[in-house]
Amino acid sequence: MRKDTVSVEKHGPGIRTRVLLLTSLSLIIAGTMVSSLYVVRFKLRQRVQNTLEADLRHSLEAFQGMTARRRFALERENTLLSLLPTLKALMTTHDQRTIADGAIDFWKTSGNDLFALADSEGRVITADALGTQDTDDLKRDLQTILADHSAHYLFSDGKLYEYSERPIYFGSEGSGTILGYVISGYAVDHHFLLDVGRGAGAEAMFLTRNMIAVSTLSKEQQSELERHLASLQVDGELNMAMGRERYLTIGTDLIDSGSVPLRLVVMKSFNQAENAEQEINRLILLAGLLAIIPGVSLMLFLASMVTRPLESLAAGVKAFGEGNLSYDLPAGGTQEVRYLSRVFAEMRDEIQKKNRALLESERLATIGRMASSVSHDLRHYLAAVYANAEFLASPDVSLDERLELFEEIRMAVYGTTDMLDSLLIFGSTGAALQRVTTPMNALVERTVARVRTHPDADLVLIRIEETEGDTAAALDARQVERAVYNLLLNACQSARESEGLREVSVRVSSDESTVSVSITDTGSGVAEGIRESLFDPFVSQGKQKGTGLGLTLASSVAREHGGEVELVSSEAGATVFRLTVLRSLPDEIKIVPVSHPPSAVVL
C-alpha cells in the first residue's frame, strides 16, 4: 500500500476529465479557426496578387498605348515642320546663331516641351526645353543619344523627355538633299505618370542611371525606395516592402542598351487587399468565438453530467482511503458510473469484512506473542528469585555467597519491573498525554542516573555531552523519560558486548521547532536482518531476556510528541539512535509551565 501511494504521488494528480473535455473542444475549434484563416488568407492573397498583376500589366499596356499615340503625333508634327519652306530656308543659312534665333519661333509654334535642330551631319545646332536655362547641357545630352536612332527618350538636367526626329530635305524626300534634322518631344513628368497609373490605382516611375528620373511618389517615399533600386532593375514581378506598406511591382525596359538605359516601373500597394483580409479574419475569428461560447456551454453541461458522478465516486474512494466508511457513493450518472459505484460499494464492504477479520487475527496473534514473551520472561525472573531465595535459606551459605545471591535476586526484580513498566506504558500509548514544559537536558540527566544503577550498565561508561541553548519542550515527562531510558539501556547492553571500549554518550540538541536526543554506543551495531523491523513489537536482537518492546515504546512515544526515533548509523563502535520531539504544541492545547516536572516512576 505504501509503494502504491508513493507511485501515485510521484506521477502527480493528473488532469481532470472536465478540463480534458473542455480543452479538447477548445483546441478543435481553435484548430479549425486557424486552418480556415490560413486557407482564406492564402487564397485571398493569391487572388489579390493575380488581380494586382493584371492591373499593373494593364497600366504598362496603357503607357505603351499612350506613348505610341504621342510619338505618332510627334512624328506628324515633325513631318509638317520639315516641309515648311521657312524652316528649310533657315537651315540653308548654315549660320548657328541665325538658326538658334529662328528656332525659337518654330518651337513656340509647335507647342512641344522639347525642340532642337541639327545639321545634316547630325550635330545639334540649337536645343530648347521648358524650364531649362542651361541649353549647353541639353545640347550635349541630346547629341549623345542621336547616334542611336532606336532611342526615343532623353534624360537631361533631371528631366525625362520622349522625342522624335525627322530629316529636313531640300527637294523631295526620295531624291533631295538633307539640310538637317528637326527634333521635338514632350516631357514625361508627374502628370503623365498619373495618367499611366490612374486606371489601376498604381504608382509609376522611370528609372535611369540607377536613379529615379520621375515618379508619382512623394519625396519621403522616393527616399525609402532608393534602398531598393537594385531589386527594381530585375525583370519580372517583385514583392517589396517600403516602410510599413507592401507593394507588388512590375517593370519593363524602354531602353536596355546605350548610354541612357531607361526602365518603367509600376507598383501597387497591398494595403487595400490586406485591409480586406484583416476584415475577413476578424469575421472568421468572431464566428469562431461565437461557436466556442455555445460549444463550451454545451460541453460544460455534458461534462457535468459525466464528470460530477465520477468526481463523487473519486471522493468516495478518497474518503474510504482516509478511513471514512460511511461516505455516500453516487447513485446516478451514466451506466458505466453506476456500475463502478456498485462494484466499489461491494468491494468496500468486502474490504471492511477482510479488515475486521485481519484485525481480529492480528489482535489474537499479538496477544499470543505478548503472552508467550511475558510468560517466558516472567518465569525466568521468578525462577531466579525462587532458586536464589532457597539458597539464601541455607545455613551453609557464606556472606559473600549471600551477597552474590542477593545481587541476582535484585537483577531479576529489576528485569520484572522493567518488563511490567514497559507493558503498562505500551498499553497506554495513544491516550491523552499529560504535557508540561520540561527541559530535555534535565530529563536526560535524571534518566542517565537511573540507568547507571541498572545491572546492565555495569562496566559501561555513560557520558553526557555538554548542552547549549534552550532545550525546553512540551512533554509527557513520564513517557519521554521511559523512551530515553529504553534507548540508553539498549545502548548499554550493546556496549557491554564490545571487546574494546565500552562507552555510551548522550547529546541533547535543539532548533526552533524540535529537540533531539542522540545516543551513541560502541557496540557491534544492529544486525542487518532486523533493521527493517527494528521498531516492531516483540523484536529483539538475540537477547536472552526482554520483551522486545523497548524500541517500539520509544518510537510510539516520539510519534505522539510529533517526532520520531531513527537509526542514524549502525556500524561497529559507532551505533547512533536519535529521538526527536516537537518543542511546541498546536495552539488549541494550552501548556502550563512548571518549575519542577513530576518525578519519574521509581522502580
For residue range 501-537, list pLDDT tens digits in order.
Answer: 889 999 999 998 999 999 999 888 887 767 676 776 6
| 69: in domain | no
Of 84-93, 246-255, 351-360, 499-508, give the range with the top mean pLDDT: 499-508
Rounded to whole angstroms, the Cα distance separating 429 from 415 reads: 21
| 75: in domain | no
Per-residue pLDDT at 439: 92
422 pLDDT exceeds 80?
Answer: no
Task: Check whether residue 449 and residue 552 sit in a common domain.
Answer: yes
Return the C-alpha cell found at 336: 458505466
Q: Of 519, 554, 346, 548, which is closest to residue 448 (Cα–Cα)? A: 519
Rounded to whole angstroms, the Cα distance separating 14 from 7 reads: 13
Mean pLDDT confidence for 49-72 = 76
Per-residue pLDDT at 591: 41
Other beta carbons within 10 Å of 36: 16
Per-residue pLDDT at 238: 60
Residues 6+ apart with CB under 8 A from 61: none
Each residue of 279-326: pLDDT tens digit? Answer: 777 777 777 777 777 777 777 777 677 777 777 777 778 887 777 777
CATH number at residue 160: 3.30.450.20
Rounded to whole angstroms, the Cα distance separating 443 from 435 reads: 14
Task: Check whether residue 338 and residue 475 sit in a common domain.
Answer: no
Each residue of 197-207: pLDDT tens digit? Answer: 565 567 777 77
Q: Please compute, for residue 540, the number of CA atoms within 13 A of its CA located in the half-sphere on the CB side.
A: 16
Per-residue pLDDT at 258: 47
- Least confident among 12-21, 230-239, 378-387, 539-548: 539-548
Whether the Cβ atoms of residue 118 and residue 146 lie closer than 8 Å to each other: yes
Residues 6+ apart with CB under 8 A from 291: 29
Residues 6+ apart with CB under 8 A from 260: 144, 145, 151, 153, 154, 155, 208, 209
Confidence band (pLDDT; 50, 70, 90) for 364? low
Task: Check whether residue 574 and residue 440 sit in a common domain.
Answer: yes
Rounded to whole angstroms, the Cα distance separating 194 from 208 reads: 19
| 310: in domain | no
User: One-letter amino acid identity for 567?
Assistant: L
Whether the Cβ atoms of residue 374 and residue 420 lie closer than 8 Å to each other: no
Q: Which of 188, 210, 240 is the last residue of a domain?
A: 188
| 14: in domain | no
CATH number at residue 537: 3.30.565.10
Q: Strand, helix or coil at 118?
A: strand
Range of the domain at 101: 83-188
DSSP 194-217: HHHHHTTT-EEEEEETTEEEEESS
Return the C-alpha cell found at 505: 554518550
- Least confident among 230-239, 249-258, 519-528: 230-239
| 537: in domain | yes
| 218: in domain | no
Per-residue pLDDT at 598: 36
Task: Check whether residue 453 and residue 384 sit in a common domain.
Answer: no
Q: Which of 359, 393, 428 is the last residue of a domain?
A: 428
CATH number at residue 406: 1.10.287
Percentages (nearest 5) of helix, strand, coil residues in the chain: 55, 20, 25
| 490: in domain | yes
Return the C-alpha cell found at 467: 548542552
Please list the alpha-helical segments (H only) found in 199-264: 219-225, 229-232
Task: Check whether residue 578 and residue 436 sit in a common domain.
Answer: yes
Confidence band (pLDDT; 50, 70, 90) for 237? low
Of 171-175, 195-199, 300-304, 494-498, give the range with the top mean pLDDT: 494-498
| 356: in domain | yes
Sign of CA dihedral 47, 50, 56, 60: negative
User: For a pLDDT cut of 70, what percent of the chain falls above it?
Assistant: 76
Q: Which of 403, 428, 453 is the last residue of a domain?
A: 428
Task: Check whether residue 410 and residue 498 sit in a common domain.
Answer: no
Whether the Cβ atoms of residue 373 and residue 543 lie closer than 8 Å to each other: no
Predicted model pTM: 0.40
Of 131-135, 150-154, 287-291, 451-455, give the range with the top mean pLDDT: 451-455
Q: How many domains does the chain have?
A: 3
Task: Check whether residue 507 and residue 370 sit in a common domain.
Answer: no
Per-residue pLDDT at 173: 77
C-alpha of 567 from chain center? 42
Of 9-13, 157-161, 330-334, give the range with the top mean pLDDT: 157-161
Per-residue pLDDT at 504: 93
Kind of pairing between the strands at 503-510 and 461-464: parallel
Task: Check whether residue 404 and residue 506 sit in a common domain.
Answer: no
Per-residue pLDDT at 579: 93
Task: Check whether residue 366 and residue 434 sit in a common domain.
Answer: no
Per-residue pLDDT at 507: 93
Q: Strand, helix or coil at 439?
A: strand
Per-residue pLDDT at 108: 84
Task: Check whether residue 375 and residue 446 sit in a common domain.
Answer: no
Per-residue pLDDT at 596: 35
Task: Check whether residue 411 and residue 462 sit in a common domain.
Answer: no
Task: Check whether residue 424 and residue 434 sit in a common domain.
Answer: no
- Least confident among 98-112, 228-242, 446-460: 228-242
Q: How much is the CA Rg of the chain, to the nearest whole Å?
A: 57
453 pLDDT exceeds 50?
Answer: yes
User: For a pLDDT cut of 90, what percent of the chain falls above it?
Assistant: 7
580 pLDDT exceeds 90?
Answer: yes
Confidence band (pLDDT; 50, 70, 90) for 592? very low
